[in-house]
Chains A and B, each alone.
Chain A
Amino acid sequence: GAVVSQHPSWVICKSGTSVKIECRSLDFQATTMFWYRQFPKQSLMLMATSNEGSKATYEQGVEKDKFLINHASLTLSTLTVTSAHPEDSSFYICSARDRGQETQYFGPGTRLLVL
């Protein structure tokens, strides 16, 4: 149980284009989902917290107009990187938390390369 999937696992795009990453909880309902990014040899940095049916809460320094988050259902959250630039290249990881539980379960991650 507690499986979280992400799609795609790899994406390469040109500078200026937008990229959408999906995060799904496969066997539980995720009332809260989190989006992180991770640079090489570094730990996870929280970007935003999203609750189903409400607007995401972004961490300080994260541009909400650049990283659009939608949590439209209890099993799906999406992160859209708008007008991507090379500095947005990173490893993006989502996590999900079941209702009433404290543990976050992580997806396998999406590696984004912006050329």
Chain B
Amino acid sequence: EDQVTQSPEALRLQEGESSSLNCSYTVSGLRGLFWYRQDPGKGPEFLFTLYSAGEEKEKERLKATLTKKESFLHITAPKPEDSATYLCAVQAAGSARQLTFGSGTQLTVLP
């Protein structure tokens, strides 16, 4: 059974204080790993897709990396508007394109 574990559950940072969120996964053949951002009361917003170990993608203050067992979402010099829940999901090879989600990391950036 595919499993995704995210840590920490919650993270409070001061504005400008860089940090990383972790996503550990167990999947029978990885087709893709996805990062989403979710604001309260809204649907997830797509951030990144990673397909193979060693791959990295960046968008503004966010950088996602992937190894064979985990992914990191690095946040550099965060701003209060980066406050949200960050969700990690995996898609297994051979699946019906379904995503298995982690429980998310709730990030709060204080001004």
- A93 and B39 CA atoms in complex are apart in Å by 13
The answer to whether B49 touches A108 (Cβ under 8 A) is no
Minimum distance in angstroms from B39 CB to a CB of chain A = 10
Question: Is residue B31 within 8 Å, beta carbon to beta carbon, of the partner chain?
Answer: yes
B34 touches A108 (CB 8 A): no
Q: How far is the CB of A77 from chain B (nearest CB, A)?
A: 14
Confirm or deny: A104 has a beta carbon within 8 angstroms of a beta carbon on chain B. yes
Q: B102 near A43 (CB under 8 angstroms)?
A: yes
Main secondary structure of the interface of A (DSSP, over half): strand
Check: A106 CB closer than 8 A to any chain B CB. yes
- In the complex, the answer to whether B103 meets A43 with C-beta atoms within 8 Å is yes
Please, how many angstroms separate the alpha-carbon atoms of A106 and B34 in the complex? 13
State A6–B31 Cα separation when bound (angstroms): 28
Residues of B within 8 A of A75 (CB): none
Which candidate, B60-68, B73-81, B93-101, is the interface stretch facing chain A?
B93-101
Q: Are A106 and B44 in contact (CB under 8 A)?
A: yes
Q: Which residue of B lies closest to A92 (CB)?
A: B43
List residues of A whose CB falls within 8 A of some B CB: 2, 4, 6, 32, 34, 42-44, 46, 49, 57, 91, 93, 95, 97, 102-109, 111
Residue positions of B touching A, CB distance < 8 A: 31-32, 34, 36, 41-46, 49, 87, 91, 96-99, 101-104
Report, nearest first, the 5 A-B pairs whose CB atoms are least far apart.
Answer: A106-B43, A109-B43, A106-B44, A43-B101, A43-B103
